[in-house]
Structure 1
Amino acid sequence: MEYVQERVATLHDLTDPIPDAPTERAAVVVPMTEREYAGLAADRVLSVLERVSPARVVVPLRAPRERVGPFREWLSEYDLPLEVLWCDGPRVADLLERVGADGDRGKGRDVWLALGRAAEEEFVVVHDADTKTYDRSYVSRLLFPLAEGYRFSKGYYARVEDERLYGRLFRLFYAPLVRALLDETDAPLLRYLASFRYALAGEFAMTSDVARSIRAPRSWGLEVGVLGDAFDAAGFEGTAQVDLGAYEHDHRAVSGPTGLSDMSRSVGETLFRTLADHGVAPDFDTLPDRYREAALTLVEQYAADAAFNGFEFDRAGEREQVATYAEAVAEPAGEDGRLPPWSDAPLSPDDVVAAAVADAEEVSSR
């Protein structure tokens, strides 16, 4: 147990608290894909949210048309003010194409579609649906700093399960990459990004005006993109991070579609675009080697930590992951695919809701 403060306010789990928080003034966004359908983790999340009583729950759903009807029927069983936004229907696609916001699909795009609706409430909470240890304190903990005057709140936790260290993309890619970048420049944005104990956590909360300022990356770079925009909107003084305690969710393979390798490329691209927005131009000729050096140093530190606790640790496997992730340390190519902030979007949340609901009702009635 510790109580060390970082550059942003850090709220610790010292007493297993469920703090008073304005849940009745908050929308909770829970992105789902077809793999969450009737799953135990998703059921736990939704069942717990019934006891939290938020103002609304928005579920942006990425699923094939034949799964939409069963999904909506399943979600209707929960006693929640829940709205399903099917993200993959033809009306939604046409709407986005008309305003020039079409393109790749992914978690970031799904969350962005929901943020416009969710920001109608005073506060917005976003978290994943694959959390096996989901607890009713999570929403309250994320919201508590906002009630205290902060504008952005980020969750953190230790990814430790079955006597193993997880959180590999954060430990072996993001953290050493930011460390290598800080050795090159002391830019305020980098110091901000380095302040978070688990920067890639999918659990965060923000005031509605911050939610409307987010330029969401379309895929797995969402969390880094949110941090970049939170820096502009809230800064060090308006940001807090909150200990969510025990936390377990699904693990991904390194290779394959939606694996950690693909995710590292999305995270890296978003990180470098965010740095460019703030005038930071890394030396890409030397950065891959500097990243590897920082990452391999961390591997040895984690090996010592694992041995100290009697955990299993695959030193060779972690080094192989570092070599894989190093391929993502490259200057972004192509156009910036980030979606516009809702404060400046060429469409309204009502347009999105109307299209998504009409699409879902059409396929559900067949």
Structure 2
Amino acid sequence: MLAETRGWLSTRTSTHHDWGVEDLREAKERSGSRVSVVIPAKNEVATVGAVVAGIVAELVRAAPLVDEVVVIDSDSRDGTADAAREAGAVVRAAAEIRPDLGTNPGKGEAIWKSLHVTSGDLLVFVDADLRLWGPHFVTGLLGPLLDDPEVLLVKGFYDRVLRSGGAAVSTEGGRVTELVARPMLDLWWPELAGVIQPLAGEWGARRPLMESLQVPTGYGVEIATLIDTFARHGLDAIAQVDLGARAHEHQKDHDLAVMAAELLAVTRARCPGAEGPGVRADVLQQHTRDGGWRERKVPLVERPPAGPLRLDIEEAR
């Protein structure tokens, strides 16, 4: 079911319509796989309950395809954990998972910590702040993993809908994607230029892959996983799926600058011949119009591969 674009931009591409739930259930039974959906969350009380409830209702109860839905709560202060738990998720506080390994703030940290408390052979990561989405996000990402054992990583892509006053006004989104991530890939990893949304928060992977990779603790986790998978396993290990449309809250430009700085450091560390992130400090200084400065923390910590550190699931819990 994976269409291939030939040439140096080849990336295996499909659409979520290609992957029916019943076909996926049969493929899962044949493979003997377990599926974990992981939702990293911080202060997303307004949306996380609906995301969890939709997945649980459609893919756990109605058509049992997903074995566990786990929300990794990153120090939320707004009731995110309670909302997720009431909707049917297993909720774990990131800081309380393997405290012997310490804790860091960030999305990548939540994903890395999830490897210590989930049991799925196939992992699907979904953002907690989604407002326009559907359970087909999960089935679409599982499709290539269940269809082809050579596929190790699946990236989602979609129309990213900007919202103003509750109305969808544009499908132009992903400012950091278009202005930072894709140009960097085009320049240094041109084989990955066909990956439409390398920073997509909806993606799937096989556990052995994730447990073998070094994981940035912040927003660099997605692009690092993409680059490292390509470097180790080649382009044939990567697929992408059109998930339709997606809407979520968008950050202001000066907040996105921190994400951009982290992506620059993460990719710089992975450039051929590079040693380390190539930055002098983990603080981004932003000059303000009134002559002052904003100092913003840039997460530069990377976690080692989780596989050698992983305990028995019950012990980790």
Is 1:55 matched with 2:55? no
**How far apart are 1:251 and its partner, in Å?**
0.4
Q: Show the counterpart of 1:29.
A: 38
**How far apart are 1:228 and its partner, in Å?**
2.2
Q: 1:260 aligns with which of 256, 259, 274?
A: 256
Deviations 1:60-96 (A, max 9, x none): 10125x66xx544433322x4x32221235x854x12
Q: Show the counterpart of 1:194.
A: 193
Q: Distance in 2 between matches of 1:30 and 1:336?
A: 22
Q: Distance in 2 between matches of 1:191 and 1:175?
A: 9
Q: Distance in 2 between matches of 1:135 and 1:144?
A: 15
Deviations 1:163-219 (A, max 9, x none): 35211101111122333x24xxxxxxx134323100010111111211212311011
The structure with more radius of gyration: 1
Q: Show the counterpart of 1:343.
A: 307
Following superposition of structure 1 onto structure 2, how do residues 1-366 of structure 1 map, counting pairs within 5 Å? 5=5, 6-12=9-15, 18=20, 20-22=23-25, 25-33=34-42, 35-37=43-45, 39=46, 41-50=47-56, 51-53=58-60, 54-63=66-75, 70-78=79-87, 80=88, 82-89=89-96, 92-93=98-99, 95-97=100-102, 102=103, 104-118=104-118, 120-149=119-148, 150-161=151-162, 162-163=169-170, 165-179=172-186, 181-182=187-188, 190-255=189-254, 259-276=255-272, 279=273, 337-345=301-309, 348=311, 350=313, 353-354=316-317
Q: Show the counterpart of 1:299.
A: none
Q: Distance in 2 between matches of 1:350 and 1:56?
A: 13
Distance 1:75 1:12, change over 3 A: closer
Q: Distance in 1 between matches of 2:146 and 2:4?
A: 22
Q: Distance in 1 between matches of 2:315 and 2:210?
A: 16
**How far apart are 1:117 and its partner, in Å?**
2.5
Q: Distance in 2 between matches of 1:337 and 1:76?
A: 30
Distance 1:42 1:18, change over 3 A: farther
SS in 2 for 1:271: helix
SS in 2 for 1:244: strand
* Paired residues of 1:18 and 1:137 also in contact (CA < 8 A): no
Distance 1:267 1:137, change over 3 A: same
Name the amino acid aligned to 2:303: L
Q: Distance in 2 between matches of 1:133 and 1:163?
A: 13
Q: Cα RMSD over matched residues?
A: 2.8
SS in 2 for 1:125: strand
Name the amino acid aligned to 1:269: A
Q: Using CA pairs below 8 Å that are at least 6 residues apart, which structure has the higher relative contact order?
A: 1
**How far apart are 1:246 and its partner, in Å?**
1.1
Report % sequence identity: 25
Q: When the two structures are superposed, what TM-score results if normalisation uses the length of structure 2?
A: 0.76
SS in 2 for 1:27: strand
Q: Distance in 1 between matches of 2:85 and 2:301?
A: 34
Q: Distance in 2 between matches of 1:76 and 1:30?
A: 12
SS in 2 for 1:165: coil
**How far apart are 1:132 and its partner, in Å?**
0.9
Q: Show the counterpart of 2:293.
A: none
SS in 2 for 1:206: strand
Q: Show the counterpart of 1:362.
A: none
**How far apart are 1:43 and its partner, in Å?**
2.5
Structure 1: gaps of 5 or more residues: 183-189, 285-333, 355-366
* Paired residues of 2:12 and 2:239 also in contact (CA < 8 A): yes
Q: Distance in 2 between matches of 1:220 and 1:212?
A: 18
Q: Distance in 1 between matches of 2:129 and 2:259?
A: 17
Structure 2: gaps of 5 or more residues: 61-65, 163-168, 279-297
Name the amino acid aligned to 1:27: S
* Paired residues of 2:98 and 2:116 also in contact (CA < 8 A): no
* Richer in strand (by share): 2
SS in 1 for 2:37: strand
* Paired residues of 2:52 and 2:69 also in contact (CA < 8 A): no
